Amino acid sequence: MNIILIIGFMGCGKTTCGKMVAEKLGYDFFDLDDKIEEYSKTDINSIFEKYGEHYFRAIEHKVFVDLLLSMKRTAIVAAGGGLVTNIDNFKHIQNCLTIFLDVPWAYIKERLPLLKETRPLLKNKTIKEIYNLWLTRKNKYFKYADLTIKITKNNNYEE
């Protein structure tokens, strides 16, 4: 069994890229956020609003591990942007081929108006706070990645 895990900041295209690659290669595709919502029977915004980020990360970890253990064949998994923030996920991420979609800040900043409505961690945050979150996570993505794909502003992929 081989798991290809796609990591990167919110809105970088993990799900879009993962679906395209899975379709081309004939692999199963899973979006971790969708699996979390399926497991909890509610949306991620509601989980954050009712219980907070710490509770969400615990559910994310459980769903991530359960998903990996249930895999019977090669699959692609689009991780949530914060999967790398939970140290408990590290040993499980190491068992995957991990691909980091490295998106420049300018691209993320451009997408913020769309992201703020659907990403609970971005609500009520300043541009500077979001930038700092992006910087902190970017270092973790590099740490965990087996392969980094740089994405340019015009959505071209570079290796």
At 44, which CATH number?
Answer: 3.40.50.300
Cα separation, 25 vs 34, in Å, equals 21
Structure tokens at 25: 């290669």
- Which domain covers residue 128, as residue numbers? 3-154
State the residue for tokens 């081929």. 97
- With respect to residue 95, please indicate whether it lies within any of the assigned structural domains: yes
pLDDT at 157: 43
What sign has the CA pseudo-torsion 157, 4, 21, 82? Answer: negative
- With respect to residue 159, please indicate whether it lies within any of the assigned structural domains: no
- With respect to residue 68, please indicate whether it lies within any of the assigned structural domains: yes
pLDDT at 159: 39
- With respect to residue 142, please indicate whether it lies within any of the assigned structural domains: yes
- With respect to residue 102, please indicate whether it lies within any of the assigned structural domains: yes
Q: What is the pTM of this model?
A: 0.89
Count the domains in the chain.
Answer: 1
pLDDT, one tens digit per residue, over 98-151 is: 999 999 999 888 888 887 778 888 888 888 999 999 999 999 999 999 999 998
Residue 97 has pLDDT above 60, yes or no: yes
State mean pLDDT over 24-41. 96
Residue 155 has pLDDT above 80, yes or no: no
